[in-house]
Amino acid sequence: MHRHPSNFGPALAALILAAITVAPFAGATSIHAAPRDRYAPPPPRPENVLSAAAVARLRSEGTSTLWVTFADKGERDARSFAAAVRQAGDRVSARARARRMRETGGRFVPDWYDVPVVTSYVEGVASTGAAIRNVSRWFNAVSVDADEASARRIASLPFVHSIEPARKSKGIKPIETGPIRTYAPPANRAPRDPGTETQSEGSSRGMSFPVPVSYGSALGQLTQINVPAVHDSGFTGAGVIVAMLDTGYDETHTSLAPLKKIAEWDFVQHDAETANQGGDVSNQWSHGTGTWSVAGGYWPGVLVGPAFNAGWLIAKTEYVPSETHVEEDNWVAAAEWADSIGADVISSSLAYDDFDPAGNSPGDYKLQDKDGRTAIVTLGAVVAHRRGIVVCNSMANSGPAASTLACPADADSILSVGAVDPTNLIAGFSSRGPTWDNRIKPEVVAQGVGVYWAIAGFPNSTGTANGTSLSCPLVGGSAALVREAHPEWSAYQVRQAFMETADRAGTPDNNYGWGLIDVQAAIYSSSLGGPVYPYPFDLLEPANEAVISSVPVTLRWRHTRDPQLEPITYEVSVWSVAPAQCVFTTTTADSQLVLPFSLLSNTEYEWYVTAMDTAAHGRESRDRRRLTTGTVTGVGVAVAPPSPPRVLLAQSRPNPTRGSTQLDFSLSGPAGVVPVTLRIFDARGRLVRTLLDHAEMAVPHSCSVSWDGVDENGRSVPSGIYHYQMEASGRRASKRLVLVR
């Protein structure tokens, strides 16, 4: 019997799943849904725009939640489509743009998923009397609460393609919780830095917490996956943004109050408050508070999570009392929101399965729907992964029977997480694979029995709980450590590193997947190679937001080192805040610098430091700091000495290559014109080809140069490893590529 691949309907599903390719990895497959970047005519409207399933739901419930999908995003032909994609790409945040460039080897390519839903379409749906719940840019749809009369008015609108019921769902909860333990409040709790309380480009400006001397009760759950060893290497999640999708959060809890929150949003009540509020039951925030503390809490001596120095997006997506179908549209909306801000990791301890235990309600997810390409939340997870986000999601607590996983754990491209006990024995409740299309699930496991977490409403209390909703944030927080250690890795490579280095990688099965993660091994021992970037480091002086009343000004930072023991140089950058422009850049081998130029009085500046190894791999300081000059500082106009531009050289595309390959690079820093040289060398360091020879280029500048695999004399070079090196005003960067004939 033929099944439609999506509850959006077959024609629209074909658009959503267009260009999906399947590639093998260690016995599994990985879905890579290529971004839709070419115009395609809208699919024909089905004979019944209002589906039979939607009618059945409406007649049984009166008012129901529906998905309304649109035929297009306003594009009429290839030209208007290209214009819409280009304009949408210009609106992508710098943080999200940089993350997606990592996925494509240094090139940002906007696509159809960036184009917003047509506003007049949404307004047209609202005019029918239906209540708009969420607008999905990714799926060109809105979720609405409507009765049958409103639904039929929506179906008559010419731009509406189809109307389907939102799937009924039930989020997972811990299956058992332990007694509450209360501690004395800390004597000097660190205050939250107000500089991070903004929905920004993902700035990591603010505090950086030291590795705690004691992890308290969390020691066992962290040691089992080698987190303390990674902390000792200097990786704590700094500069990485993690999005929590859950029920709500008590930010006053001692383990959460110091954390760097970047933004929050309540997708249930549609406001900026994720704590309990009017209309919430008392335990609404319990689950989210606990999972956030497991992923990144910071209460030294009591409760610590893997990624305590990360930046956090907290989204309230599930309404605890009802456990109805409405949460799946909230999950997708929250994932789109996290993507727009620039999240690197999503940790979701929510999973959706049959709402009706008998499985008789129209629209419930059935076993055959767990195929990686049917459930809305699964499709949302795949798109998030495709946009460079590492998605970690609980398997559910319905084991030990086979194929008891819940959506979106069936998504092929994410890290679905099962639960083991402290002795690494699979928990009986941990849901199992395979998926309907016979893929192994989960990918990995972590401790989900007797895990310590924060208790909402009791700021100085912790407890224990069991469930895959506890093992998931351990993996999510650990993913932030890997992203920090390997800023060059794609989301798929982070996933691959975890799976390759887990303890059952050689014999994966549908109980443990590839096994218990080892964060230290994922960073240092995967086939992708060890870290080539210097270790993270902190700025020291002046303090953030310091007011400077005298000159000279001395900037200080902590020394770092390179994993390969290469020498380190530091690039110091100073920017004026308004207008935002670089006023000074220089390099030094020391860990301090006396600013050699005058600061303007009553002006705000931002400064940061980038540690560079000999191959120009750069790691920025954990934070950026700001300083403001007082009235006695000024000595006229600030004049910065000439400084070379910063060079960013991307990985060649394709790599390996059988012939021609593309070399992308960019120059940033103070405006000017600089000579640029780009050369190809063989593995023995012999010059093969000069592609650019002191070509004058303006700064800032981005450029793409191709190499056709021939030398200076036009002869094809043999297979092997080659290096391409770029030099601009004394700054040098190099990478390698593989040529296969």
| Residue-wise pLDDT tens digits, 393-439 | 999 999 999 999 999 999 999 999 999 999 999 999 999 999 999 99
Residue 3 lies in a domain: no
Domain count, the chain: 4
Same domain, 655 and 580: no
pLDDT tens per residue across span 625-677: 999 988 754 443 344 445 667 788 888 888 888 888 888 888 887 767 788 88
pLDDT tens per residue across span 512-571: 999 999 999 999 999 987 777 898 898 999 999 999 887 788 999 999 988 878 889 999
CATH of the domain at 581: 2.60.40.10
- What does the pLDDT read at residue 23? 31
Q: Which residue has the tokens 């500082």?
A: 633
Same domain, 575 and 513: no
Q: Does the pTM exceed 0.75? A: yes
Q: Give the residue from 533, 439, 444 showing the smallest Cα distance to 495.
A: 444
Q: Which residue segment(s) compose the domain that 729 sits in? A: 646-739
Q: Which residue has the tokens 């790599």?
A: 655
Is the pLDDT reported for residue 452 higher than 50?
Answer: yes
When pLDDT is averaged across residues 726-732 and rounded to a whole number, the result is 78
Residue 182 lies in a domain: no
Number of H helices, E strands in the chain: 14, 33
* Token couple for 368: 């055959």
pLDDT tens per residue across span 323-341: 455 578 899 999 999 999 9
CATH of the domain at 694: 2.60.40.1930
Same domain, 551 and 457: no
Same domain, 268 and 339: yes
> Within its chain, how far is the Cα of 142 from the centroid?
24
- What does the pLDDT read at residue 352? 77
- What does the pLDDT read at residue 222? 98
When pLDDT is averaged across residues 74-81 and rounded to a whole number, the result is 89
pLDDT tens per residue across span 238-281: 989 999 999 999 999 999 999 999 999 999 999 999 999 988 88
Average pLDDT taken over every residue of the chain: 85
Residue 726 lies in a domain: yes
CA dist 357 and 702 (Å) reads 56
CA dist 91 and 113 (Å) reads 12
Q: Could you tell me if 349 and 451 are in contact, meaning their C-beta atoms sit under 8 angstroms apart?
A: no
365 — pLDDT class (breaks 50, 70, 90): low
Residue 180 lies in a domain: no
pLDDT tens per residue across span 688-705: 999 988 777 878 777 888
In single-letter form, the type of residue at position 647 comes to V
Same domain, 252 and 340: yes
Same domain, 224 and 120: no
Same domain, 467 and 510: yes
Poorest-pLDDT segment among 226-235, 350-359, 632-641: 632-641
Same domain, 233 and 322: yes
Same domain, 385 and 267: yes
Q: Output DSSP code: residue 334.
A: H
Same domain, 52 and 154: yes
CATH of the domain at 402: 3.40.50.200
Poorest-pLDDT segment among 166-180, 445-459, 629-643: 629-643
pLDDT tens per residue across span 563-616: 878 889 999 988 888 877 778 888 899 999 998 777 888 889 999 999 988 877
Same domain, 411 and 280: yes
- What does the pLDDT read at residue 653? 83
Residue 530 lies in a domain: no
Residue 379 CB partners (closer than 8 Å, separation 6+): 6, 16, 17, 139, 373
* Percent with pLDDT over 70 in the chain: 87
Same domain, 581 and 500: no
